[in-house]
A and B are shown apart, each in its own frame.
Chain A
Amino acid sequence: MPRALAIPDQTRFLPAMISDAPVLQQTTEPAESAAAPSWLSRYARPLLGVLLPLILALGWEFLVWLGWSNGRLVPPPSRVFATIVDLARSGELVRHIAATLWRVGLGFAFGVVAGTLLGAISGYWLLARRLLDPTVQALRAIPSLAWVPLFILWLGIFETSKIALIAVGVFFPVYLGVMGAILIVDRKIVEVGRTFRLSGPAMIRRILLPAVLPAYVVSLRVGLGLGWMFVVAAELIGASEGLGYLLLDGQQLGKPAQILAAIVIFAILGKLTDWLIEIAAAPFLRWQDAFGRATGA
């Protein structure tokens, strides 16, 4: 750059001084490992998460095999797996999973839409927050299961009341997540929007929502977790199909392997859907300059 010539002579030595320093070696190293992930980070890291459940399952299997326990109340993994296979063969499993997934999916969708809209509105407009938030917080303080009798009276014992209950469960963490995150968006960045004279909706769309996206993804994941929780509650209350029904059926007929099978499937589906949110959000969060990104968490 020709302008550098105006600067006194000593500064010309500066680049040379910097490049001699060992700092340079330190900075190139992480960049390389990020560009070409080693075998270890690519395969071993996800496997690490499977290690603990695997050891526990094999340990229990082994103890039952040794005859130290008859495994009647806590069936070994092989028996749980056999139950899952049986259910799958008869086509029952698909029917139950589909019913549960449908309820969670629909309830989650309603809960997320309502939570996002109301959360954004009461996060952005002070008046709306003063009007709306106390009521929402009071409703949130009600244990959501307390709604069950009312929902059954209002909406019947079939799908509608179940989906409503799940939606209620999903709504609150999403609402709270969006509103809370908007309230702590950096004023300096909002001012950038103001200097470019963004309207209210444009401010929400172009500044506030992108800024709260990381927190939003977290609240979606919390909401989904609650959705899975409430689907069990809804299905335990009265259902003829669904994984929750399998739980209840297993209890009433004394089939612990079936209960464990349903629990295992809940765990798999819960983890899988949570992972889907993470995967779907990842491309929108590449900009983050965060601790978690650097450590690969």
Chain B
Amino acid sequence: MLALDRVSKTYPNGVQALARFSAEIRQGEIVAIIGGSGCGKSTLLRAIAGLDRASSGTVTLDNEAIAAPHAKIGIIFQEPRLLPWLSVADNIGFGLADGPATERREKVARALERVGLAEKAQAWPRELSGGQAQRVAIARALVPQPEVLLLDEPFSALDAFTRRDLQDHLLDLWADTRPTLILVTHDVDEAVVLADRVLVMRPRPGRLFDQIEINLGRPRDRNSPLFENFKRSVLTSLDRSLDRSVPDRDATQGPGQAMWW
């Protein structure tokens, strides 16, 4: 279990990006974090990844405090961030420094197959389309089999069709080993398609505002009325989070809170 306990982050320039954010995320759960710009979503994700340290509060994974990048935690960024001097296959194998070479090659080949880019194994990153590059990034993060995979607006730079395709693909890959997914997004559709639970954050300073449990089976039909209902409730919560006249509610009371309709 990933536990966030009153995580706060104040930048050296005095801006408080994150204030006492607490949440518990079960192993294998898919959580989407959504909120207006400047609500500290990315700050939170970077703290979980161990890339930035929280000013106060703790991030613990299975009772182990996270203060630096951890082997069990992988991250996918908004940009693919492939290493341009490595072939696609070498990029995917980048996190597999240990272990015998044949085993590494096998894992990479399997991952390439899995993301449908087997014929691109020896291509340079510059030869890939945006969607293909992000697939490689997903494969690179998944190959070391992390327990927690963080995604920082991973599909926001892609066109609508590619985005849908990759969302489905991500779920497909997730089903293999069922890691915990924590997805930062500003796309309500994406949050409702992917997540078991949507955490709505509120800006200045970034804090948890609401959480909405998405009780929908998979695969989810984007056109079903139920799906629309969930989307609407996330949107409503998002709107309220940006309305300064709405007081903070106690988001720790449980998911039932959001089911007011």
Q: Which residues of A contact B (CB under 8 A)?
A: 1, 3-4, 6-7, 11, 188-189, 191-192, 194-197, 202, 206-207, 210-211, 213, 284, 286-289
Contact = CB atoms under 8 A, between A and B. Distances in A.
Given A188-B81, A213-B85, A196 B161 contact: no
Contacts of B68: 197
A289 B126 contact: yes
Nearest to A288: B84
Nearest to B116: A1
Interface in B72-96: 74-75, 77, 79, 81, 83-86, 94-95
Interface of B: 49, 51, 68-71, 74-75, 77, 79, 81, 83-86, 94-95, 97, 124-126, 144, 161, 164-165, 168-169, 222
List 5 tightest A-B contacts by C-beta distance, closest first: A289-B126, A210-B85, A287-B85, A196-B95, A287-B124
B212 to A, nearest CB: 24
Given A3-B168, A197-B71, A289-B126, A191 B83 contact: no
A275 to B, nearest CB: 23
Contact of B51 (A6, A194, A202): A194
Contact of A7 (B69, B79, B164): B164
Contacts of A191: 51, 77, 81
Nearest to B70: A197
Contacts of B124: 286-287, 289
Contact of A195 (B75, B97, B161, B165): B75
B3 to A, nearest CB: 21
A211 B82 CA distance: 12
A227 B124 CA distance: 35
Contacts of A188: 77, 79, 81
Contacts of B85: 210-211, 213, 284, 287
Contacts, number: 60
B23 to A, nearest CB: 21
24 contacts: A1-B165, A3-B165, A6-B222, A7-B161, A188-B77, A188-B79, A189-B81, A189-B83, A194-B69, A195-B74, A196-B69, A196-B94, A196-B95, A196-B144, A197-B68, A197-B69, A210-B85, A210-B86, A287-B85, A287-B86, A287-B126, A288-B126, A289-B84, A289-B126
A258 to B, nearest CB: 47
B115 to A, nearest CB: 13
A7 B68 CA distance: 41
A191 B152 CA distance: 13
Nearest to B76: A195
B165 A287 contact: no
B114 to A, nearest CB: 14
B164 A192 contact: no
Contacts of B125: 287
Contacts of B70: 197
Contacts of B84: 287-289
Contact of A11 (B79, B86, B161): B161
A210 B69 contact: no
Q: Which of B71, B75, B83 lies at the interface centre, i.e. has the most chain A CB atoms within 10 A of its CB?
A: B83
A210 B161 contact: no
A191 to B, nearest CB: 6
B49 A195 contact: yes
B171 to A, nearest CB: 11
B193 to A, nearest CB: 11
A91 B57 CA distance: 79
Given A4-B165, A194-B69, A196-B69, 14 more contacts: A3-B164, A3-B165, A3-B168, A6-B164, A11-B161, A188-B81, A189-B81, A192-B83, A195-B49, A196-B95, A196-B144, A287-B84, A287-B124, A289-B124
Q: Which of A188, A194, A196 lies at the interface centre, i.e. has the most chain B CB atoms within 10 A of its CB?
A: A196
B137 to A, nearest CB: 9
Contacts of A192: 81, 83, 94
A11 B69 CA distance: 42
Contacts of A197: 68-71
A19 B49 CA distance: 43
Contacts of B83: 189, 192, 207, 210
Contacts of B79: 188
B218 to A, nearest CB: 14
Contacts of B161: 4, 7, 11
A10 B175 CA distance: 31
Contacts of A195: 49, 51, 69, 74-75
A286 B85 CA distance: 8
A189 B84 CA distance: 10
Nearest to B169: A3
A192 B136 CA distance: 13
